[in-house]
Structure 1
Amino acid sequence: MRTRQKDRDVPGPQTPWDEIVPGLWMGGHYWTDTAGELQLAVAGDEFDLVVSLYAAPGHGPAPGVEHLVAEIPDAPLTAGQLADVQQLARATASAVRDGRTVLVRCHSGYNRSGLVVAQALVELGTEPAAAVELVRRQRSLWALHNRVFEDYLAVGLDVAALLTGLDTPA
């Protein structure tokens, strides 16, 4: 069984999710076990807030757990999608500041979740390059391998949204 989408040439994650900083977890809906088999990552009630950038039925979270969903592609984003990322990153950072446990997830827990987690770290006072390095160290070297997302973080999401918005017809 393949563990990644057909258009991907990177290995699947070896864990469902990983803690990036205390209280802030990053992961996906799928992971690969030690036998190389695809496994479902189902969030129950172990988190106070789950932020999903990709949604699939049956993956949780449990009833009563706050769940924010904004499906975005693992591709260049529109100004509106970048605004969604900023909003989710602010909500994530606020929850972490309040001592809540947060899971940010996408399909495999590499790019989309990495973008939101890194931006949340920026909101919490980490420099963008250090945030990217921390995400990669804690989750996977494959995290944020989408160079466009890394560029968004480097330039700042406000600037990226403004520049992206220039291509939008009035």
Structure 2
Amino acid sequence: MKARRTDHHIPDPRSPWDEITTGLWMGGHVWEDDRNRHRNAVVDREFDLVISLFTRDGHGPPEGVEHHIAPIPDDWLTSPQIDRVRLLAVIAAEAIRAGRTALVRCYSGYNRSGLVVAQTLIELGHDGPGAIDLVRRRRSSYALHNAAFEQYLLTGLDIASLLTGLEAPS
């Protein structure tokens, strides 16, 4: 399974993570500082909940922090993967409603985390275009540059999952 697209023209983010709405953060495992140095984003206890769509040893969070790991590709998703994204968004939305902080992260913090964060915003009452816009304004204009993920959000993950599940058997 391909875990990450190779988008060499897309720069690393300028921060390890950004707050998209109160308590809901989006980030990655790498970022670039003001001196253009590559940095690792390591989570400690800054968040009550961490959802990792990509993992790397040594990047946290430490034991005791609620951590959901769900590797998904930065590519077209299967119906079960779309359903997993929906479940993770519900988990994140419940945490935000309870006043907890949540970080959703992938490798760079653009696409996979953007998909889950935007769906979390939808769970919290935003519409698809508004959720996509908010993610891009608060994280980066490069967020959700995966056209498939944008289409999933605009179609609705429930419908996207059903349509993907209709694929002809091999």
TM-score by length of 1: 0.95
Q: Does structure 1 retain, via aligned residues, the 8 Å contact 2:5–2:74?
A: no
Displacement after TM superposition at 1:37 (Å): 1.6
**1:127: which partner in 2?**
127
Give every structure 1 segment of 4 or more consecutive aligned residues whose post-TM-superposition deviation is greater than 2 Å: 4-8
| Cα distance, 1:6 vs structure 2 | 4.8
2:67 partner SS: strand
Change (3 A) 1:5 1:159: closer
Q: 1:6–1:167: structure 2 CA closer, same or farther, 3 Å change rule?
A: closer
Offset of residue 7 of structure 1: 4.0
Identity value in percent = 57
Secondary structure of the residue aligned to 1:51 is strand
Judged with a 3 Å threshold, the aligned counterparts in structure 2 of structure 1 residues 66 and 9 are, in CA distance, closer, same or farther, namely same
* 3-state SS in 1 of match to 2:71: coil
Q: How many residues align?
A: 167
Aligned residue for 2:102?
Answer: 102
Aligned equivalents of 1:30 and 1:121: distance in 2? 24
Q: Which amino acid aligns with 1:104?
A: V
| 1:1-170 correspondence runs (5 A) | 6-167=6-167, 169=169
CA deviation after TM superposition for structure 1 residue 33, in Å: 1.1
What SS does the corresponding residue of 1:14 show, helix, strand or coil?
coil
Aligned-partner Cα distance in 2 for 1:19–1:8: 25
Structure 1: 5+ residue runs without aligned partners? none
Structure 2 gap segments, 5+ residues each: none
Q: Which amino acid aligns with 1:134?
A: L
Tell me the distance in 1 between the aligned counterparts of 2:76 and 2:69. 19
Q: Which amino acid aligns with 1:101?
A: T
What SS is found at the alignment partner of 1:163? helix
- TM-score w.r.t. structure 2 length? 0.95
2:12 counterpart letter in structure 1? G
